[in-house]
């Protein structure tokens, strides 16, 4: 930004400006504090040459006391004179002089500036309420000691409550390099409301962070402040109004954006949906608190229950409400989570239901028949029939089936205006029969497609070719040799016998060749493999041929074959969320498959495979802190247990990239970070520790 350079806050050069208050005279007119003439001679409300004006500056946290606004101090900690920045021993405030370019300089010691602060008071004289401030300054750092120190920037509109700005804050590393560096820091503070004539405050606060020994030195120069033209309030919006999640993911993240930096909060509440709390999910109203220095996106996690039941997709509807602070709701204030079932429908010969007859006759003579080829009765409550009309990718009509279908029996669905002879054979009537020959029909168990006629999302014209005919004005009967449904219509279209229009002679029963399984309960799964990701572990294996389901067994190495907290059954792979695993622990797992589930005909357990969740562990008072994975690609997990903690992600210059507060599992998003080295600093009520972490290329 271009700047109008004023020496406000220093000894004035003429009597007319001797007691001038530091003000912002107008919007879009920057002012600069360059510390010209400062000689480290202390503070006074009527400053002489070499002093700072205490009407503008205060200094706190020194062994010689504090200098409040309007106070005087011309010796000791507050007047250490001039330094060239080569390293001081005595704690206090100096004037740094580099070829006649002055800056204010602080040397912390055990009793000085640990903690302590320098506070600058300014006045809004723009004539309007200020909503945004552009703030920049040069931060001088001499990292010449073993101890790590912070030099944090915060602001206040009342002189009482201060908001820290991560982008303008700095933490030195605990490995000294003896280098004097200058950081040019700049940030826009938004979401403010500073009336004309009101004071506001900037504060630079220092304290110890980690390690032992003497402390690094800090300086400030070229502080530039500009009141920007007013803008409307920042707004809250959901990032994406439709989120799909499967039960096995354990949690769904609702992301909320704020349109710009501001200190405001907003509530996320459940307002409806078909899923039930707590049987399907767990969530209570969550308040997301944004701060001007923090990220512009925050997450409200929703716990998803991973049950063992086949279910149709369910929904949870959320709403943003109850905004606190100078912000407002935006356009996208509602969001829906679609919870998809993760139980895999049984596949293979005679393992599950399929469509055995399709009637597309004259007028309203439309009907479907579903056959049970298994040796056991089947509960139909998890099954549905769906029709997709005219290439529509979403279902036009849905039938949720019910009752129990005996082994070898059929379930018949008829149009309620069909021929009486057809209606007499109906188990139920449904609008799912409102189809013509150019529509797709799908049979599902839960959210898994197990059979289909036609292709969803495709309009074939007047009909689908099938066998010796078409799907319009014909009756289709599944060939006796077919013993399972087909998801691939290219194959499914070859599996039907085509009968004449309005031929109902086979409707109400079905003939199928005898089942013969190739599954052997004496074999075991093989080729176990585990891949650790930023959010959990993908497990995969080669199942026993012909098996209908497989189960993972395992736990921490040496604990036996307890279930890895995975109640669902899969065929050849599954996902273990990171929240169900302990970082720094090696797990051993095996797999067994089932040739049938009712009754259970299970194979032996496979040979074991192992995986380890890598983690960095804390020491001493922070021994229960774990950070993983390392290196990370998607998320950096910080496990802090039941204690309240603050976790900060820093680059190697000490700049704070993100800050999180809370208990349990805190997670930094690493997807947008450049590959390289970072620090995670964790602070609890019992201690603080920094951890080196690596981010790998995504």
- Supply the pLDDT for residue 528: 87
Q: Taking 70 as the threshold, does the pLDDT of residue 4 lie above it?
A: no
What average pLDDT does this structure show over 310-314?
A: 76
What average pLDDT does this structure show over 203-219?
A: 90
- Supply the pLDDT for residue 11: 36
Q: Taking 70 as the threshold, does the pLDDT of residue 13 lie above it?
A: no
- Supply the pLDDT for residue 80: 95
Q: Is 528 left (phi over 0), alpha (psi -120 to 50) or beta?
A: beta
What letter does residue 91 receive in the DSSP assignment?
A: -
- Supply the pLDDT for residue 632: 81
Helix (H, G, I), strand (E, B) or coil at 129: coil
Give me the residue label for tokens 């922070």: 622
- Where residue 3 falls among pLDDT bands split at 50, 70, 90? very low
8 A C-beta contact, residue 494 and residue 463: no
Quote the percentage of the chain above a pLDDT of 90.
Answer: 44
- Supply the pLDDT for residue 154: 94
Q: Is 230 left (phi over 0), alpha (psi -120 to 50) or beta?
A: beta
Q: How many CB atoms lie within 10 A of CB 179?
A: 9
Query: Is the overall model pTM greater than 0.75, yes or no?
Result: no
- Where residue 12 falls among pLDDT bands split at 50, 70, 90? very low
Dihedral (CA of 247, 251, 253, 254) sign? positive
Higher local confidence (pLDDT), 553 or 108: 108
What letter does residue 520 receive in the DSSP assignment?
A: -
What average pLDDT does this structure show over 305-322?
A: 84
What average pLDDT does this structure show over 48-74?
A: 95
Q: Taking 70 as the threshold, does the pLDDT of residue 535 lie above it?
A: no
Instruction: Select, from the ranges 542-551, 612-621, 667-676, the one with the highest average predicted confidence (pLDDT).
Output: 667-676
Mean pLDDT of all residues belonging to the chain: 85
Q: Taking 80 as the threshold, does the pLDDT of residue 58 lie above it?
A: yes
Give me the residue label for tokens 């500009």: 226
Q: Taking 60 as the threshold, does the pLDDT of residue 14 lie above it?
A: no
- Where residue 267 falls among pLDDT bands split at 50, 70, 90? very high
- Supply the pLDDT for residue 567: 45
Among 72-86, 452-466, 602-616, which is the least confidently predicted range?
A: 602-616
- Supply the pLDDT for residue 666: 86
Q: Taking 60 as the threshold, does the pLDDT of residue 295 lie above it?
A: yes
- Supply the pLDDT for residue 1: 35
- Supply the pLDDT for residue 562: 57
What average pLDDT does this structure show over 293-306?
A: 88
All domains of the chain, ordered by start, with CATH?
A: 4-228 (2.60.120.260), 234-340 (2.60.40.2030), 354-499 (2.60.40.1260), 526-612 (2.60.40.10), 616-695 (2.60.40.3080)
Helix (H, G, I), strand (E, B) or coil at 499: strand
Higher local confidence (pLDDT), 660 or 576: 660
Q: Taking 50 as the threshold, does the pLDDT of residue 18 lie above it?
A: no
Closest by CA position to 53, among listed 61, 45, 42, 41: 45
Strand partners, 665: 639
- Where residue 605 falls among pLDDT bands split at 50, 70, 90? confident
- Supply the pLDDT for residue 506: 93
- Supply the pLDDT for residue 631: 78
């Amino acid at each position: 930004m271009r700047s109008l350079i004023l020496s406000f806050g220093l000894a004035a050069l003429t009597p007319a400006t001797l007691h001038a208050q530091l003000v912002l005279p107008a919007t879009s007119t920057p002012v600069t504090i360059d510390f010209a003439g400062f000689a480290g001679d202390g503070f006074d409300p009527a400053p002489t040459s070499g002093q700072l004006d205490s009407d503008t500056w205060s200094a706190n946290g020194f062994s010689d006391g504090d200098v409040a606004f309007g106070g005087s101090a011309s010796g000791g900690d507050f007047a250490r004179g001039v330094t060239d920045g080569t390293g001081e021993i005595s704690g206090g405030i100096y004037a740094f002089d580099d070829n006649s370019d002055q800056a204010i300089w602080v040397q912390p010691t055990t009793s000085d500036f640990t903690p302590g602060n320098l506070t600058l008071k300014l006045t809004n004289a723009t004539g309007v309420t200020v909503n945004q401030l552009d703030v920049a300054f040069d931060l001088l750092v001499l990292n010449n000691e073993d101890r790590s120190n912070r030099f944090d920037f915060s602001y206040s509109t009342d002189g009482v409550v201060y908001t820290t700005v991560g982008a303008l804050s700095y933490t030195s590393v605990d490995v000294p390099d003896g280098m004097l560096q200058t950081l040019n820091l700049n940030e826009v503070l938004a979401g403010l409301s500073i009336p004309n004539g009101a004071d506001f405050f900037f504060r630079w606060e220092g304290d110890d962070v980690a390690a032992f020994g003497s402390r690094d030195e800090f300086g400030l120069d070229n502080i530039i402040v500009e009141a920007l033209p007013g803008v409307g309030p920042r707004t809250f919006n959901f990032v994406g109004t439709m989120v799909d999640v499967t039960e096995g993911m354990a949690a769904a993240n609702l992301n909320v954006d704020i349109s710009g930096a501001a200190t405001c909060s907003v509530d996320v509440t459940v307002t409806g949906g078909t899923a039930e709390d707590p049987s399907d999910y767990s969530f209570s109203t969550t308040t997301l608190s944004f701060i001007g220095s923090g990220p512009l996106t925050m997450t409200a996690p929703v716990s998803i229950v991973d049950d063992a039941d086949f279910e149709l997709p369910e929904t949870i509807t959320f709403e943003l409400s109850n905004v606190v602070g100078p912000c407002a709701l935006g356009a996208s204030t509602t969001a829906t989570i679609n919870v998809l079932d993760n139980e895999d429908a049984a596949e293979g010969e005679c393992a599950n239901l399929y469509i055995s007859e399709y009637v597309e006759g004259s007028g309203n003579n439309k009907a479907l028949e579903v056959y049970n080829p298994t040796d056991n009765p089947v509960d139909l409550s998890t099954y549905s029939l769906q029709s997709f009309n005219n290439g529509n990718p979403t279902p036009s009509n849905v039938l949720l089936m019910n009752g129990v279908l005996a082994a070898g029996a059929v379930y018949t669905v008829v149009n309620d205006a069909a021929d009486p002879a057809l209606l007499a054979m109906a188990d139920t009537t449904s609008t799912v029969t409102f189809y013509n020959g150019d529509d797709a029909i799908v049979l599902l168990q839960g959210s898994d497609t197990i059979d289909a006629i036609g292709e969803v999302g495709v309009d074939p014209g007047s009909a689908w070719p099938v066998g010796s005919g078409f799907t319009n004005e014909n009756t289709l009967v599944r060939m006796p040799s077919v013993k399972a449904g087909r998801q691939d219509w290219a194959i499914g279209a070859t599996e039907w016998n085509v009968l004449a229009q309005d031929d109902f002679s086979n409707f109400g029963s079905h003939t199928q060749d005898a089942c013969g399984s190739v599954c052997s309960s004496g074999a075991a799964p093989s080729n176990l493999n585990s891949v650790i990701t930023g959010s959990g572990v993908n497990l995969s294996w080669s199942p026993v041929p012909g098996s209908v389901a497989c189960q993972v067994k395992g736990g921490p190495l040496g604990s036996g074959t307890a279930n890895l907290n995975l109640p669902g059954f899969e065929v050849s792979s599954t996902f273990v969320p990171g929240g169900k695993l302990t970082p720094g622990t090696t797990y051993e797992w095996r797999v067994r498959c089932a040739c049938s589930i009712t009754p259970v005909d299970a194979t032996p357990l496979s040979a074991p495979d192992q995986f380890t969740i890598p983690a960095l562990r804390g020491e001493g008072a922070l021994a229960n802190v774990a950070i993983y994975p390392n290196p990370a690609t998607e998320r950096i997990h910080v496990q802090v247990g039941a204690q309240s903690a603050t976790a900060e992600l820093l680059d190697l210059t000490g700049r704070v990239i993100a800050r999180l507060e809370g208990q349990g599992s805190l997670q930094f998003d690493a997807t947008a970070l450049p590959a390289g080295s970072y620090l995670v600093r964790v602070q609890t009520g019992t201690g603080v520790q920094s951890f080196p972490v690596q981010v790998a290329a995504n």
